[in-house]
Structure 1
Amino acid sequence: MAMMEEFKKFALRGNVMDLAVGVIIGGAFGRIVESLVQDVIMPPVGKLFGGFDFSNYYIPLNHQGTALSLAEAKKAGAVFAYGNFLTVLLNFLILAFIIFQMVRLMNRIRHHGSPEQAKEPATPEDIVLLREIRDALKR
């Protein structure tokens, strides 16, 4: 019985719940970014580089023709799907950039939050006195 109570205490602690919420939100956010890349960014980029969809670029490894779509080519045998890799890599770079911007914004808010936080804390009297003695000795 003690193990179950210990597990309950662990599972209901704030950090575990925050982590669970973060994972769920992260998964949903990942799908949003994936859609952004595949549906909004990749079509113009593909058009810029010859009007093709990167995700269907591949090199067949079993001598079949390249006129098949990637899914059909995978069914026919092994393929080197470099276009799909480029799409996933672009997804990652965009996601990493967006997360970087979010963290950067949160750090700015944290450092420039309220005016009371922006003020420097008062210097203790003994430090002020020591500085005055130091300055007097320098003169």
Structure 2
Amino acid sequence: MTDKPRVLFLCVHNAGRSQMAAGWLRHLAGDTVEVRSAGTEPADRINPVAVDAMREVGIDITGAAPALLDHDTAGASDVIVSMGCGDACPVFPGKRYEDWKLADPAGQPIEVVREIRDDIRGRVAALLDDLTATRR
């Protein structure tokens, strides 16, 4: 791992879970971690309910856009966190992988998306703690 760990959050549409995770990590880590997110079949836009849920906790993800996973981005990442993409997420040898089982916020009411958001926050905080301990 480089001095600045590179984390890629990966899901199918890159419109909800992975965008919220990227928003949380940017918020909690500042510029100490390089944050990326992508999808295997990106949506046209970010889930507006996910945007609203993140805005409620002071994190603005409106500037993010779903992006297609490319091999260069994955290859240049130290940690790849997949979220519900199963076999659609490719495996890149030599990378640290985490597979987070999270509900899909697509089509869910704000109350459910808040729970997903808060679950993601806890997982991101634990990941950041681990990355920080690894760098010591």
Shared fold (TM-score, shorter chain, > 0.5): no
Taking structure 2 as the reference length, what is the TM-score of the superposition? 0.27
Taking structure 1 as the reference length, what is the TM-score of the superposition? 0.26
Q: Larger relative CO (CA 8 A, sep 6+): 1 or 2?
A: 2
- Tell me which protein shows more strand as a share of its residues: 2
